[in-house]
């Protein structure tokens, strides 16, 4: 009798849960499975799932998550399903429930009221997956995937050699796991904009902007007529009518071209895309999901940047770091070497970290190691920083160096609006370093950025300290105590976000001094200078505005006072050379009509026109 009562209660809960109008939300929204039998290859219990971002959840603000759908390639027994709130690598439990998972799709309805979506959170949702010895021996696991891999589509939480955190997984596409959301509170007809791509930040007046906007029917019913529009600054709106049927939950894209006015003022401008009407009814009040805006800069004059700034967010506890270090050594010998200023910023809590740089990890590093190039956002990417961890163990260092080098060469062509020159003096008696920075500012600098700020960074090569290293022989990670670290951020001579420059007649001069730590070897140190927009602090809100305007470096070992103390490492004298704009080396006899990058014998890079 007890079993019958329990069964009836279970059926009642299921019926109550399914009375609501529901929608499957995630990186898969139907019953499709394209990969079955995915496995880790090592027995153990793994906490796996997907990440639902605010961009994905904002349309469901106020809706309740009733449960999860999970697909399994094999019966997985009774296990824990869960939802966590994710803040970086920190997880806070929201709801969990244990239930037996069978082969195929499983519906897990949470007891109680589930979870109400705020629309601004990031959720990690999934289940505990136990991989047995039998699965390993049979080379067949219990995981199911679908489609191509995407950011957020498949993560594991644990310690996989780089500390406890979330790690993106590859190999089976997107994990087959979905949120079951009660959408009965949504409006009958509603259209939300989700993403807009409009190309690089810097434009010229009269230029065409080819933009792409994605939008989704987030209402309860299908839509067969709607109107979208775009607007530059406060200019006239351009509207386009659509009559293509759009089922509920369907995402589509709008590709449009807008031409900037030929007399557009130099400075920052705004492109807005908005929903005008849905089913013939105008939207009188635009919500955060009905309008997207993007800023861009218009310029007339520009100058060649001195160097592209490569900022690496590294971690002494990550065994992936040595792979990237080898690639950076290769990079320093390649076509982009003289174009590049490199600084390695160590993860907070590790021996080589400094407190002043912690904010960079909070803003940019979503895993370690990662890197930014000029701290600039590339349109369409989920982050400003780049992650090559998936390739580091499998690609030769030269190939990884080539990937990074191509990105540097691309950014080298980005227009700059201020230059920078460094002079330095060193006093061996009291280890005082004095630096004077001078430069010219184009009118664009003030119009686009307002005030500029100068950041001076001291780095040191060949610093001996610990590092986690993966041994291919033992197949274990070991902690090497005398690992040689290069480009180590030692100190800032200015505030980390820069000292505001005071320009007069389009030029500036700024002088700073510091005392070098007794443990540092000045003959192995570099000074890197950055020009950025002057801001009081950097946050996620103004992150796109603080890309690097220009960068340069000065090798302290070349200063006479330091050369007199100790012999500096011999500099590499590279012969004069020519490169195409995509970084391919060409001999003088191969030059044809066009634009090339010339590297002089002294290491200076400049563009030249061959007629």
- Cα distances (angstroms) measured from residue 240 to each of 192, 254, 326: 16, 10, 52
The structure's pTM equals 0.76
Structural contact between residues 204 and 236, judged by C-beta atoms closer than 8 angstroms: no
Q: Torsion-angle region of residue 603: left (phi > 0), alpha (psi -120 to 50) or beta?
A: left
CA-nearest of 163, 275, 190 to 229 is: 275
CA gap 501, 494 in Å, rounded: 11
pLDDT at res. 602:
46
Structural contact between residues 226 and 279, judged by C-beta atoms closer than 8 angstroms: yes
163 compared with 258, residue with greater pLDDT: 258
Render pLDDT for 240-270 as a digit per residue (tens, 0 to 9). 999 989 998 888 999 999 999 999 999 999 9
| φ, ψ at 360 (rounded to 5°) | -65, -40
Instruction: Give the helix ranges, DSSP H, for 459-601.
Output: 560-563
Render pLDDT for 336-372 as a digit per residue (tens, 0 to 9). 999 999 999 999 999 999 999 999 999 999 889 999 9
User: At residue 4, does pLDDT exceed 50?
Assistant: no
- Give every CB contact of residue 140 below 8 A, 6+ residues apart in sequence: 37, 39, 73, 74
pLDDT at res. 476:
81
Q: Which residues, in sequence order, are bridge partners of residue 211?
A: 256
Render pLDDT for 574-592 as a digit per residue (tens, 0 to 9). 455 666 655 556 666 566 6
Render pLDDT for 427-475 as a digit per residue (tens, 0 to 9). 999 999 999 999 999 999 999 999 999 999 999 999 999 999 987 776 7
User: At residue 64, does pLDDT exceed 60?
Assistant: yes
Dump the DSSP string for 430-453: TTEEEEEEEEEB-HHHHHHHSSEE
User: At residue 571, does pLDDT exceed 50?
Assistant: no
Q: Which helix (H) or strand (E) holds 564?
A: none
pLDDT at res. 439:
97
- Give every CB contact of residue 114 below 8 A, 6+ residues apart in sequence: 64, 65, 66, 67, 95, 182
Mean pLDDT of the region 263-286: 88
CA gap 353, 395 in Å, rounded: 28
Least confident window among 279-293, 415-429, 500-514: 279-293
CA gap 22, 64 in Å, rounded: 9
CA gap 201, 449 in Å, rounded: 13
Render pLDDT for 506-547 as a digit per residue (tens, 0 to 9). 999 999 999 999 999 999 999 999 999 999 999 988 999 999
Using only C-alpha atoms, the chain has a radius of gyration, in whole angstroms, of 28
Instruction: Give the helix ranges, DSSP H, for 351-464.
Output: 358-364, 397-412, 443-449
């Amino acid at each position: 009798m007890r079993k019958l009562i329990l069964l009836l209660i279970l059926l009642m809960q299921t019926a109550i849960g399914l009375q609501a109008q529901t929608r499957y939300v995630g990186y898969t929204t139907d019953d499709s499975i394209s990969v079955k039998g995915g496995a880790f290859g090592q027995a153990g219990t793994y906490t796996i799932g997907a990440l639902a971002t605010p961009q994905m959840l904002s349309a469901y603000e106020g809706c309740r998550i009733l449960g999860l759908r999970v697909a399994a390639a094999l019966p997985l027994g009774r296990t824990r399903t869960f939802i966590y709130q994710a803040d970086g690598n920190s997880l806070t439990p929201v709801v969990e429930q244990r239930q037996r998972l069978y082969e195929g799709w499983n519906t897990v309805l949470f007891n109680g009221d589930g979870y109400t979506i705020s629309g601004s959170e990031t959720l990690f949702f999934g289940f505990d997956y136990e991989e047995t010895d039998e699965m390993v021996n049979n080379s067949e696991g219990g995981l199911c995937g679908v489609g191509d891999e995407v950011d957020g589509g498949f993560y594991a939480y644990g310690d996989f050699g780089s500390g406890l955190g979330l790690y993106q997984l590859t190999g089976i596409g997107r994990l087959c796991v979905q949120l079951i959301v009660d959408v009965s509170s949504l409006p009958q007809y509603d259209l939300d904009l989700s993403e807009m791509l409009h190309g690089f930040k810097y434009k010229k007046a009269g230029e065409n902007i080819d933009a792409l906007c994605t939008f989704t029917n987030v209402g309860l019913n299908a839509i067969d007529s709607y109107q979208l529009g775009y607007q530059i600054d406060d200019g006239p709106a351009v509207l386009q009518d659509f009559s293509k049927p759009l089922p509920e939950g369907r995402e589509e894209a709008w590709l449009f071209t807008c031409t900037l006015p030929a007399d557009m003022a130099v400075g920052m401008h705004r492109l807005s895309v908005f929903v005008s009407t849905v089913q013939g009814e105008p939207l009188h009040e635009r919500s955060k999901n009905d309008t997207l805006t993007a800023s861009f800069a218009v310029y007339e004059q520009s100058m060649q940047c001195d160097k592209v700034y490569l900022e690496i967010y590294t971690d002494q506890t990550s065994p992936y770091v040595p792979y990237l270090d080898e690639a950076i050594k290769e990079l320093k010998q390649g076509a982009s070497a003289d174009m590049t200023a490199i600084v390695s910023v160590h993860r907070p809590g590790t021996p080589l970290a400094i407190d002043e740089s912690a904010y960079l990890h909070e803003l940019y590093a979503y895993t370690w190691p990662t890197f930014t190039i000029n701290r600039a956002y590339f349109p369409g990417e989920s982050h400003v920083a780049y992650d090559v961890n998936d390739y580091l163990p499998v690609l030769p260092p030269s190939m990884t160096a080539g990937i990074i080098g191509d990105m540097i060469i691309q950014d080298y062509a980005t227009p700059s609006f201020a230059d920078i020159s460094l002079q330095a003096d060193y006093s061996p008696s009291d280890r005082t370093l004095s630096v004077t920075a001078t430069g010219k500012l184009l009118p664009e600098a003030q119009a686009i950025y307002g005030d500029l700020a100068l950041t001076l960074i001291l780095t040191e090569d060949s610093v001996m300290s610990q590092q986690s290293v993966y041994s291919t022989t033992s197949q274990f990670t070991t902690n090497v105590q005398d690992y040689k670290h290069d480009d180590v951020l030692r100190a800032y001579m200015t505030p980390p976000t820069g000292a505001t420059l005071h320009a007069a007649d389009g030029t500036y001069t700024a002088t700073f001094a510091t005392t070098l730590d007794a443990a540092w070897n000045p003959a192995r140190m570099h000074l890197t200078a950055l020009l950025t927009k002057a801001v009081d602090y950097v946050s996620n809100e103004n992150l796109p505005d603080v890309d690097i305007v220009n960068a340069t470096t000065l090798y302290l070992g070349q200063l006479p006072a330091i050369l007199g103390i100790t012999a500096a490492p011999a500099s590499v004298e590279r012969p004069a050379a020519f490169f195409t704009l995509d970084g391919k080396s060409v001999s003088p006899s191969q030059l044809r009509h066009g634009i090339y990058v010339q590297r002089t014998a002294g290491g200076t890079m400049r563009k030249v026109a061959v007629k």
